[in-house]
Copies of this chain bind each other. A is one copy, B any other.
Amino acid sequence: MPDRSSPIGIFDSGIGGLTVYRRLLELLPNERFVYLGDTARYPYGPRSAEIVKRFAVQGARFLLDFDVKLLVVACNTASSVALDTLREVSSTPVVGVILPGARMASRVTKSGRIGVIGTVGTIRSGAYKREISVLAKGTEIYEVPCPLFVPLAEEGFFDGEIPEMVAHYYLDGLKEKGIDTLVLGCTHYPLLKRVISRVMGNRVYLVDSAVAAAEETADLLSLKGIASPERSGEDILYVTDAPERFRTVSKLFMGYPIDNVVKIEPFL
């Protein structure tokens, strides 16, 4: 049975979940984390809900073996289609990134016009729209999939003409809708924050689902009385493929490279 000194598990399709891990580290310095990135099969964004569920269950089972006290699903795509399934197989509470992001957007909006951007899988699921509609009745929600944003972020195109042109392509229509709040519904998108903000203008509030999920995790720990009083050990980050690439690209997401990356057998 997990107790307050048990680690928190973080599941992601690959590397994007590091934006969530980073926020968790900032907010919860006494907690210990075990991260799993399914780099052998990322990205989940273009895949079917059915396969994302199966992949996510395999990943969750791996993390549950560490006796985690909480399971954070850092991937928006997995959160949007697999959360119910994960709650069925998990003996421990499961936190996704959708509801925290939806909550923050509902709190922040004044005009009641909210934009949501994400992967094809996340947008197709309608998960953000569903949650926001319940939390803030009568809001108008405009959803746009931005499939090129993930490869741009992973290749380090954070700023400059190329990402700016792509951002205009995806976002100009949203801007015309007069939204005052935009949910960055994919863990990679905070890396493109500057260019997204430039295109949307500084009157549009950008909701970072990583920040929102980290805050919700902290709340849940104190609510349940299972926050750790001190760090019980080092974090470990597991990947199913290419740990070197993970180490290199982690710098883009964390600001510094991560060393304790361990490759495990992929789920074959």
Contacts and interface: CB of A to CB of B under 8 A. Distances in A.
A110 interface: no
Interface in A48-74: 48, 50-51, 54, 58
Interface stretch (A26-34, A91-99, A160-168, A214-222): A160-168
B161 A165 contact: yes
A48 B242 contact: yes
Contact of A162 (B41, B48, B162, B267): B162
A258 interface: no
A261 interface: no
Contacts of A268: 54, 58, 267-268
A152 B162 contact: no
Interface residues of A, number: 30
A165 B162 CA distance: 7
Contacts of A148: 148, 151-152, 155, 157
B151 A162 contact: no
A249 to B, nearest CB: 10
Contacts of A150: 151
A12 interface: no
Contacts of A51: 40, 240-242, 266
A119 to B, nearest CB: 12
Contacts of A240: 51
A2 interface: no
Interface of A: 39-41, 46-48, 50-51, 54, 58, 147-148, 150-152, 154-155, 157, 161-162, 165-166, 169, 240-242, 245, 266-268
Given A40-B41, A148-B152, A162-B166, 19 more contacts: A39-B47, A41-B41, A46-B245, A50-B241, A51-B240, A51-B241, A51-B242, A54-B266, A54-B268, A58-B268, A147-B151, A147-B155, A148-B151, A148-B155, A148-B157, A150-B151, A162-B162, A162-B165, A268-B268
